[in-house]
Amino acid sequence: MRDFLLQGAGLLAIIVSVAHGILGETRVFARATIEPPRLRLLLRLVWQAGTIAWIGGGVLLVAAPMMASDAARHWLIATLGVVFGVAALGNALATRGRHVGWVGMSAVVALAIAGY
């Protein structure tokens, strides 16, 4: 059961991350006026770097039950729990809870801990 919870955390992490990337491009950068163009490009790349990193974390959570090492599993859960937890906290504080992203990230943390 704990393997399914951990894999669910990974799948949810991937879904939240992909939504982050798509919504960033269609809602944030589509209407933002950022000058100069090089700065706009830099901000978009940094935004999407977070997206890619979170997708990678989701993939690792999905793969963790297939690893032969309990130590690796525990370190992955602990590390990614902190990563997603800090992201959820930052999102909730910055948006005063009005953005749904912190809920998804918190659910990833909860599922990962349940699958510990």
Q: How confident is the model at residue 9 (pLDDT cuts 50, 70, 90)?
A: very high
Instruction: Give residue 83's pLDDT.
Output: 96
Kindly state the DSSP code that residue 26 receives in the 8-state scheme. Answer: I
Task: Please state, rounded to an integer, the average pLDDT across all residues of the chain.
Answer: 95
CA atoms within 13 A on the CB side of 68: 0
Q: Are 6 and 115 in contact (CB under 8 A)?
A: yes
Q: Are 99 and 91 in contact (CB under 8 A)?
A: yes
pLDDT digits (tens, 9 = 90+) for 24-52: 999 989 998 999 999 999 999 999 999 99
| Spatial distance between the Cα atoms of 61 and 109, rounded to a whole number of angstroms | 11
